[in-house]
Structure 1
Amino acid sequence: MTVLMSHVQHYNHLQISAKRAGLYMIEKMKGKSMKWVKEIVEMEKLTDYTCNLEFETNWKKFMAQKDVFLSKVNIQNSINIEGFGTVDLVNPRKSPHLLPEAYD
């Protein structure tokens, strides 16, 4: 801002406009910077979450039971999924096209 104002110091009629434009640009850059930082923080949260070895181990165990879930959804009213507990199968049965996605 100081550099901008030094360039217009001899032009009084430009000082107000230059100052306003400079402040506008600063606010605009602050907004972009905040958006960028939020994006980085969100990516970091996801990375920490998926790099957690315990999470990956549990996820693999859970996904290994997917075929059992899909095969029993039309036969039983509930199923016990290791690490998750008992799951009611009556409601998911109503939307068979969504079952694989629902399990994920």
Structure 2
Amino acid sequence: MQYSELYPQLQNATRRAAQSLMAKVKERAIDRVLEIVQMEKCTDFTCNPEYMGEWNKLMEKQVVFLQDIDHPWKPSKFVLEGIGEVDLEKLRERRHLVQQAFDLRMRMVAYWKTVLRRLVDSVALHLLFTVQGLVNKELEDEVVSQVVGPQGGGLQRMLEETPAVAAKREKLKRSISLLKESREVVAQIMDRVSTADMEN
């Protein structure tokens, strides 16, 4: 907008182009996030070494957790990091599945942290890359498209005066006309004065 402030017709086209491109970028970003989520739903894969560290840290609670399940006199609630409060009474009835379920749940909690980091990084990188392309190439193309228009009539519209410029032009015409009339009146007065001076 700063570069086109002296060209109001170009400012309108630039504003429309920017709004149009931002809508496209928003659509692409939404599609990108949906694609990332779909990829995560297909498989649980990571090369991130932090995943194993996080999973091992969560698995350290398994021994205490299983002991609390095996002893009915222990409290019926257990607080697990990453999950919250767990009701042990229901788990005591299915003791044979608890160890596998615990392992699976801890893998999911550790993996979810990796997924969140990956999602944030992917979206941030995608937006930075998209904005760079937007500013360097797409904005120029879109402004030209907005200015020229589909039938090429945009250039004709750009050459038309804005109402403000037309009003200033009319005001200047009136001022010039008034100055010409004033010059003629002054010339007549000067002629009369010089004629009167000659007669005297």
What is the TM-score when the length of structure 2 is the normalising length? 0.27
Tell me which of the two structures has the higher relative contact order, counting C-alpha pairs closer than 8 angstroms and 6 or more residues apart: 2
- Return the TM-score normalized by structure 1: 0.48
